[in-house]
Amino acid sequence: MALAHPYPNHLASPLAPADPSPKGRPPMPTPTQPSDASLSSLDAQHVEDTLSRIAPKWTTWSTQTLAHHGPLRTRELAAHLPFVHETALSRRLGQMHADGLVTRAGDSQRSPYQLSALGAALSPVHRALSDWSQHHLSLGTVADAERVEDALRRLHLRHSTAVIQVLGTGGPTRFVHIAEEVGLYPSLARHRINRLQLDGLVTRVGPRHGDPYALTDAGQALGPVYTAVERWSNLTTERLSTPPASARSAAQSHSRVPLGAGDVRTAAALRRSTVVPSAVFSHPPQPQPRVPAAVIHQSAPSRGR
């Protein structure tokens, strides 16, 4: 359901209320039979991990506001979103910064926030979610950002994508087989299916308790949404797999440092270590002078107490 708060009049077109959903939709969602190829090729775990990054409350509001109002400090963003407490926005921006969705517009910790390239690339995902919601959910007149957040709330819960995939590729399926396919305990599977029913994505084919479940029109139409999510996720993976230029140059410089006799153990340790990248250090290690044996003997700890 949409939030009960009023929407401020100053929100411009990207955040303004979207067109209301078509009226006259039957109260009970109807099951659909055909399977969708895009659902069968889904990596459900990967999609859910991606959705968990962009689904938290106020993420879409913050992203779309920054997209259309330029770099903003937390207080300035809160002025555009008066229905959100500034403290909540501060926490949300901090997590978005950690997730790579926003960056600072300057070097200072007080510099305003702006969308990163990754955050700006969320636009097709938001558009796919909004289009799906407008065609298949009866929310009435709500802001586009609220429509997107409502859609993400329905989709991001763990195992939801796997259940939708099972029903989308196999057609109507009984509860016990859904639980087996997804690999869930019956109690958890029941909880997830009940939630999907409440959200209008899954319905029971018949009135009896043992009748199979199937996707509704809304559930079957999720293919384009998942495709957009996967494309954005692949962009995220590509960015994470390519180290920054500074890290690459530091690694190359480190590999060319001449080693002295006293650096053999250090070099061996660095070759064994795969946890700490060489970019952590401000400069490559330099060969250390050999310590005279007399000094080593004097400074060696005693074995006695």
CA distance 200 to 216: 7
- Statement: residue 290 has pLDDT above 80: no
Quick one: pLDDT at residue 213?
97
Contact criterion met (CB below 8 Å) for 82 and 88: no
Q: Of 69-83, 216-230, 274-288, which range is least confident?
A: 274-288
| Entry pTM | 0.68
- Statement: residue 98 has pLDDT above 90: yes
CA distance 269 to 233: 35
Phi and psi for 184 in degrees, rounded to 5?
-115, 150
Average pLDDT, the chain: 77
Structure confidence by residue, pLDDT tens digits, 134-175: 999 988 889 999 999 999 999 999 999 999 999 999 999 999
Quick one: pLDDT at residue 108?
79
CA distance 73 to 104: 9
Tell me the percentage of the chain whose pLDDT exceeds 70: 65
Q: Of 88-97, 105-114, 130-139, 158-167, which range is least confident?
A: 105-114
Q: Are strands 113-115 and 202-204 parallel, antiparallel or unpaired?
A: unpaired
Quick one: pLDDT at residue 16?
54
CA distance 70 to 112: 9
Tell me the percentage of the chain whose pLDDT exceeds 90: 57
Helix axes 86-98, 59-69, angle to 10 degrees: 90
Q: Of 84-98, 148-162, 273-287, which range is least confident?
A: 273-287
Quick one: pLDDT at residue 236?
74
- Return the higher-pLDDT residue of 192 and 39: 192
- Statement: residue 31 has pLDDT above 60: no
Structure confidence by residue, pLDDT tens digits, 206-255: 999 889 999 999 999 999 999 999 999 988 776 655 554 444 444 444 44
- Statement: residue 40 has pLDDT above 60: yes
pLDDT-based confidence at residue 188 (cuts at 50, 70, 90): very high
Quick one: pLDDT at residue 64?
97
Quick one: pLDDT at residue 253?
45
Quick one: pLDDT at residue 209?
86
- Return the higher-pLDDT residue of 78 and 256: 78
- Statement: residue 44 has pLDDT above 70: yes
- Return the higher-pLDDT residue of 81 and 267: 81
